[in-house]
Each structure stands twice: as C-alpha cells, then as structure tokens.
Amino acid sequence: MTTYFIRSLFFFLFFIQFIGQAQKSPSIRWEPGVSLTKKIDSRWSYNISLMGRQRFTNYGEGEKNFKTDRWEIKGFGTYTLLGGKKLSLGYMYRSYNPFEPEGGWEHRITQQIAFITNFGGYRIGNKFRIEQRIRSSDYLTRLRYSISNDFPLQGENLDPKEFYLIAGNELVYAFNRIGNELENRFSLGIGRLIKKGQKLQFAFVSRNSDLISTSRDHIIQFESVYYFSL
C-alpha cells in the first residue's frame, strides 16, 4: 500500500502540470555540470559545483535556436545537526547570455535546511530554501520546498557500477515589489554509482511557471551531472 501511494504521488505531480497549461511549444534546455563535495569532519562539509545551460528553442524573434543561456558557479557550507538535519549557507554567481552583448549577471545567497523522513521503508529527502537573488535587472526573493526519493535498481543496497532511480518535485514561490510567481518542477532521473564517491546522473525536468496567472510557461530541461565526494 505504501509503495503504491509513493508511486501514485509522483505520477500525480507529473501529470498535474500539464492540466490547463497554455497551448504553446515548451522550451528545450540541456544543463550539464560537475559537483564536488568534501567532508571536513563529522559535522562540517562543503560543496562546489559548476553548471552551464544550453537552450535549443527561440525565446523571441531573431534569437538563435542554439545558444549558451547561462553558466554559474556555486558553493555551499553545511553543518550537520543531531538527528541528521543539515543547515547550509550558499553563494552563487551566474552569468546570463555570457557570449552575447545583452548578457547579465546574478549574485544569489541561499539559506537551507535539509532532512530525511522515513515513510513505509522509503527515505524521503526534504529541502527548504530561502534565496535572495540580486540581479543586474532586479531583486527577487524565493521560497522553495522539494521532496525526492531514490532507490537502487539491483537489490536493496547500491553497489559500484549499479544503477538507481530518483524522482522529485519542487515548488518555487518568487516575489518582489513588482509581483509574485509560483513554479512547479518535476524531475525523474537515472544514475549510476561509478565507484565509491563518484556517480553520474541524468534527469528529465518538467518546469511550469506562472501557475498563479493566466499565462503559463513550460520548460523541458535535461540535466547531466557528475558528482564527486571526498
């Protein structure tokens, strides 16, 4: 019964995004990246990641079909509390359209708490985030909550050279003095543990923004990330 509920929940979160959405073609993107996590001691760790994004569809008349949409470098410092809860503080620098004359930039500060809840034998990951986005064009605050679940495809434990599945959903609420916006992001991916401390993960992400307005924007994003843990 619990297994059926978990699977039904993620299927519902996936299909609900397409109900009533605007009749226009989705934007297609690919986001490759690399992520390094280093454990300092039993409490402290840090993460550094480098990501890029390529887009394959026009956003406006006269724009290229294929272009580098952005690149970013991000760092997180994490402290583990009793019970396994993790508090993180992060900073990101992002460059928009880095190879175009109309490019922009963003500084982002993130506060996060992450924890695991057990439900019917499943380990459900939870993340709450608050972000302050200082951009070249405006300032934005975002509240984010995500849940995720991953499990090995071969046996109960994940061993080197074995595959795993991961599914998740995230709600993102953004606001500033101009207005607000609600976005839903559903992701489904497959990964492989290359060896201890290294894994490669591919994911399909369906992003629907402007959920609280009459105009909706749909983005289909493919992600590929190589994770290192030291």
pLDDT, tens digit, 9 for 90 and up, residues 2-53: 445 555 555 555 555 555 454 567 889 999 999 999 999 999 999 999 999 9
What length is written for the chain? 230
Q: Work out the average pLDDT over 130-158.
A: 93
In total, how many domains does the chain have? 1
Residue 167: pLDDT band by 50, 70, 90 thresholds?
A: very high
* The pLDDT value given to residue 215: 67
Beta strands (DSSP E) in 120-216 are 122-135, 139-152, 163-175, 180-195, 198-209
Query: Where in the sequence is the domain holding 87, given as residue range(s)?
Result: 2-229
| pLDDT of 177 | 80
pTM: 0.86
**Residue 111 contacts residue 99 (beta carbons within 8 Å):** no
pLDDT score of 116: 94
Residue pLDDT, tens place only, 45-98? 999 999 999 988 766 666 667 889 899 999 999 999 988 999 999 999 999 999
Residue 67 is predicted with a pLDDT of: 85
C-alpha neighbours within 13 Å on the C-beta side of residue 54: 9
The 10s digit of each residue's pLDDT in 168-209 is 999 999 998 888 999 999 999 999 999 999 999 999 999 998
Which CATH number is 88's domain given?
2.40.128
